[in-house]
Amino acid sequence: MPAKRGSQQGTPGNGPLHEHDLAATDQTEPRIGLAAGEPARSPPASIVSHALQALLALSSRETVKFLHQRGRLLSALVRPSLWLLIFAAGFRDVFGVAVIPPYSTYIEYQVYVVPGLLGIVLLFNGMQSSLAMVYDREMGLMRLLLTAPLPRSVLLTCKLLAGTFLSILQAYAFFAICALFRLDLPWWPGLLLALPAMFLTGLMLGALGLLVSVYIKQIENFAGAMNFVIFPMFFLSPALYPLWKLQESGATVVYQLARFNPFTYGIDLIRYAMYGQMNWLACGVVVASLIVFLGLAIWGYDPQRGAVRHKRQGS
């Protein structure tokens, strides 16, 4: 008995479907809701979903890499701990007895430098993320990241958020060290109130790290460039001493440079937040610096307009 004609050809409903039948069906039948020849457009919800997946993937990668580098956490905590133990102990009586905002009473010098040491934890981790970007670019991993089907602005923002997440973890680990030293800090709700301020400051410093990584071509040049970024920002700030002491001592130039330092306002934002107060000037400067640094970094990583294009033309 001859087989049915439909089963020999594999048409739907008369026999099993094969790959060529599915291809033919997909070519002949247009998608519902789309005109003939109109390409399918990804909805905004899918873009947000892909961005969240990229953020999760980058955060997981940064966390796993951080856990494998045990010396990184140790070095991140040893640096501010030495400042707290040695530097603060030697300069305990230099701070004076003046009461300045946000403090309502006299405080010890160790208590004063804690927000500044939190800032240096965020600053060094932001620059460490910059070093990781340079390393990934040399190893070819940056090329894989930037070829993902997402805008580069989204990818760099996800990279920034992942690095800031690690900065916050290290900052709270330093809070644990401060608790071991039994410092008189506003533990509750100071630790919770300081979270948004540290998050904004970490984003700003991480964006600065992204911007620096645009112009550093090799890892060997990283140490020299960081000496012109980290230490001037740290010492030209109220991290270790109040700015009014610089003004009283006659160091007008240093005082004015510290006023134009965005790290100064990040430290003030953290310090005020720990005591339940809001410094709107510091918040505005930090947010504005974040937008400028991130915008310049995105422009720099744009192969059509930014520094990447100029590097290719120069080579």
Q: Tell me: the pLDDT tens digits for 9-54?
A: 444 444 444 444 434 444 444 444 444 444 444 456 666 777 777 7
Distance, in Å, from the CA atom of 81 to the CA atom of 75, rounded to the nearest integer, reads 10
Neighbours of 75 (CB within 10 A): 12
Identity at 234, one-letter amino acid code: F
Length of the chain equals 315
Return the higher-pLDDT residue of 233 and 305: 233
Distance, in Å, from the CA atom of 263 to the CA atom of 285, rounded to the nearest integer, reads 10
**Number of DSSP helices (H) and strands (E) in the chain, helices first:** 16, 0
What pLDDT score does 273 carry? 95
Q: Residues 68-108: pLDDT tens digits?
A: 777 777 777 888 888 888 877 777 666 654 677 888 888 88
Residue keyed to tokens 């984003």: 203
Question: Which residues 6+ apart lie within 8 Å of 78 measured at CB?
Answer: none
Classify residue 306 as left (phi > 0), alpha (psi -120 to 50) or beta.
beta
Question: Which residues 6+ apart lie within 8 Å of 186 measured at CB?
Answer: 274, 275, 276
Nearest to 134 by CA among 159, 171, 162: 159
Identity at 106, one-letter amino acid code: Y
